[in-house]
Structure 1
Amino acid sequence: MSLHTADERSVLEGLLDVQRAEIALLLDEVDDTEARTRLVPSATTVLGLVKHAVFVERVWFHSRVAGVPRERLGLPAAPADSFVLTNDDTIASVRADFDEACDISRAVAAAHDLDETWPWHDGPVSLRYVYAHMIAELARHAGHGDILVEQLLARRRQGVK
């Protein structure tokens, strides 16, 4: 089945999975040192972007949709804190966390209708909105990551550590 002609739910799920794959690909061409390298003034790194993607999966699907309290999920209070790396964060560990978060998100979403709603700051949000928000969120961060990876690979070719 092609996403170009699929039903609405299949399109939303498929486009979100495309963006999830783009996020995961960010880690394929860099090593652990490069993945942690800061090229911008913020805490944004390639590894931090993927760690933040774990955070948004858990915020929207695990907490908002599934109803698990954020504290029980160990989520930082501020989204900016989700980019912060610990000494234990590696490409392998963050990728495993991302894969697991996505698997849980898929299972959570599968149990709900697109029109089902949950409370949010500005009023109720539907699963349809959550899908659209996540597609936009991950696409934006995949683009950020693409630029960082491009810079890291250029540095590598130039022999810069």
Structure 2
Amino acid sequence: MSIGQAGERELLETMVDIQRDQITGILEDLDDQEARRKLVPSLTTPLGLVRHATFVEKVWFHSRVAGVSRAEIGLPDTVEESFVLDADDTIESIRAAFVAACERSREIAAGHELGEEFDWRGQSVSLRFIYAHMIQELAHHAGHGDILVEQLQAARKP
């Protein structure tokens, strides 16, 4: 069966996974120095984008859906902090953390129905909403990553 004929859940899961692949793809053709390079005034770097995507996975699935507190997961207090890199962060370590977070997110989501509701800042949102939000969020950041990678690749040329 093609994705065009998939049921709702399979379609949502596949679309999220496509965007997850796009996020890991940000780091494919970079070295650690390039991945840390700041090309914009914000905290956004290619490596920071993938670190932030890990944060997003954990906020939505590990905390909101699974009900584990942000403190227990070790999440930073602010979104901005989720882009901040530690001195020992590497492409390998950040990619591995993201892949592990995604796998855990899949496991968590598998135990819930699309219509099941979860708290989001005092209002209820369904797992269906969370999937749609994640598609949007990850696609947004994958696009940022594409632009940064394009700039880094252009800088390599003499």
TM bracket, shorter-chain basis: over 0.9
1:100-147 Cα distance to aligned partner (Å, 9 max, x none): 000000000000000000111151010000000000000000000000
Alignment match, 2:75: 75
Alignment match, 1:142: 142
Look up the equivalent residue of 2:83 and give its one-letter code. Answer: F
The runs of 4+ residues in structure 1 deviating greater than 4 Å are: none
TM-score by length of 2: 0.98
Look up the equivalent residue of 1:40 and give its one-letter code. Answer: V
TM-score by length of 1: 0.97
Q: Output the CA distance in 2 between the equivalents of 1:156 and 1:67.
A: 45
Q: Output the CA distance in 1 between the equivalents of 2:3 and 2:126.
A: 21
State the Cα distance separating 1:80 from its structure 2 match. 1.0
State the Cα distance separating 1:20 from its structure 2 match. 0.2
Q: Output the CA distance in 2 between the equivalents of 1:103 and 1:87.
A: 25
Look up the equivalent residue of 2:131 and give its one-letter code. Answer: Y
State the Cα distance separating 1:2 from its structure 2 match. 1.3
Look up the equivalent residue of 2:30 and give its one-letter code. Answer: V
Q: Output the CA distance in 2 between the equivalents of 1:44 and 1:150.
A: 15
State the Cα distance separating 1:35 from its structure 2 match. 0.2
Aligned pairs for 1:25-64 within 5 A: 25-64=25-64
CA RMSD of aligned residues (A): 0.7
Alignment match, 2:154: 154
SS at 1:124 equivalent:
strand
Aligned pairs for 1:82-161 within 5 A: 82-158=82-158
Q: Output the CA distance in 1 between the equivalents of 2:51 and 2:93.
A: 10
Look up the equivalent residue of 2:138 and give its one-letter code. Answer: L
Q: Output the CA distance in 2 between the equivalents of 1:64 and 1:154.
A: 40
Tell me how many residue pairs correspond in the alignment: 158
Q: Output the CA distance in 1 between the equivalents of 2:88 and 2:24.
A: 18
